[in-house]
Amino acid sequence: MPRRAAVIGSLILFLSVFGLAQGMDAPAGKTAGEVFKNIQVLKDIPAGELLPTMRYITVALGVRCSFCHVEGNFSQDTEHKQTARRMMQMVFAANKSTFNGRPEISCYTCHRGSSHPQGVPPIAGATTAAAHPAASAPAGARPSPDQIVTQYVAALGGADAIAAIQSLVKIGTLVTPRGSMKVEIDRKLPDKELIVLQSEQGVRRQGFDGATAWEQEGDGAPRTESGAGARAAGPPAPLEIALALQHGTQGMRVLGSEEVNGRAAWRVAARRPQGGFELLDFDAANGLLLRVETFQRTPLGALPEATDYSDYRDVQGVKLPFSVRVAGAENARTFQFDSIRANVTLADERFRPAGAGAGSASQK
Ligand code: HEC
Ligand code: HEC
């Protein structure tokens, strides 16, 4: 048990810095009921979805893990944990009976970030809901998805300049609520990625070699994940998004206009290669990408994440953002790049876990 608690502890720390995908250590194909000790309601969900689900609950109720759990013993029951189980059953039953099984009701529907939902409407004038300022509407008629993509590709520097980029090395600082650290993100197109984070606690590496995603602390054994769910963990990158959009705009819809960081934008819904959808906000004036919003689905509701791009500068004929802010429901972190170099020669070995892990990666 203490080992599992430690693994979960380090995973959560990692999640909070990185927003990494689902619990990487969860054995593929196992259910939560098989992997964890005391699961009664969420027995049949994939084991890897349990932690995202727990993160979702904490956000929906505005509490910490310790609201329901005893430190160091997640399987022990508490009064709040028992209540939460009844609430889960209520949510599943309501969606089944009233919404044909569609996940319309979530914990957040009632809780809105509080452990005590409001049952009585507020007095007039005392409303706490943030008033939505009317978005400044973009000038001109609503463009088609093709027009938006054409304008975007041109704004970045054109299809030829984009196609000429084979690799990128970005160096700078990652600012998180826990402090700042040095960061380097290496990309070899189309899909290889290496992220190196250096803080007082040591070095952390995370990579994707096109098939296997991995993470490694110092010289420790790397944790790996391959298969359909494995992918690069870095924030979505405008250049790669342009490459994907150039392949075609089927499944893309222009939803309307939005105001993003004070700028008028066109909001587009697009299918993600790995399933689900994402929202893309394009600057209505200059065509550049301002924000990408994605949603991590859990059995109880969705966790949103927004990535904002700014400080676009020219790198070998292509405009790239030197500031990338990733904001989840729990916290936000900002990548501030000092330098971005293109077409540096990067060996494929660079994107595999460093050998020190005594073969634990190759055993898989
Ligand atoms: C509002 C209450 C609540 C909060 C907050 C909460 N959990 Fe849970 N957690 C539960 C319930 C309920 C279960 C059991 C689910 C079931 O029986 O299907 C559970 C089960 C677990 C388990 C499985 C334990 C085992 O071995 O059986 C882990 C691990 C866990 N939670 C981790 C977390 C973490 C980490 C957080 C904070 C990010 C968290 N939980 C926040 C209610 C909560
Ligand atoms: C239909 C509305 C609704 C939904 C949906 C809902 N809850 Fe609740 N929840 C309530 C109400 C009402 C209370 C009682 C609040 C009080 O006592 O002030 C409550 C109380 C709780 C409490 C006890 C809080 C305390 O301080 O005693 C927990 C824990 C909780 N809910 C968890 C959840 C979880 C987890 C979900 C999603 C699976 C969820 N709830 C979904 C309405 C809802």
Residue pair 328/303 in contact by the 8 Å Cβ criterion: yes
Task: Indicate if ligand 1 lies below 6 Å from the C-beta of 39.
Answer: yes
How far, in Å, CA of 234 to CA of 45, rounded? 26
Among all bound ligands, the one having the nearest atom to the CA of 54 is 1
Any atom of ligand 2 within 6 Å of the Cβ of 80: yes
Matching residue, tokens 């329901």: 68
Separation of alpha carbons 12 and 20, rounded Å: 9
Nearest CA to ligand 1 atom 43: 68
Taking the centre of ligand 1 as the mean of its atom positions, its distance from the CA of residue 83, in whole angstroms, is 12
Q: Which residues in the chain show pLDDT less than 70?
A: 1-28, 125-137, 273-275, 355-364
pLDDT at 295: 87
Ligand 2 contact via 111 beta carbon (within 6 Å):
yes
The amino acid sitting at 273 is P
Preceding omega of 190 cis (within 30 degrees of 0):
yes
Domains of the chain with CATH codes: 2-111 (1.10.468.10), 145-353 (2.50.20.10)
Amino acid 356: pLDDT: 40
**The whole model's pTM is what?**
0.77
b/e map of 225-251 (b: 16 or more CB within 10 Å)?
beeeebebbbbbbbbbbbbbbeeebee
Write down the pLDDT at residue 27.
63
CB of 68 sitting under 6 A from ligand 1: yes
| pLDDT for res 251 | 79
Residue with structure tokens 């720390």? 13
**What does the alpha-carbon distance between residue 38 and residue 33 come to, in Å, rounded to a whole number?**
7
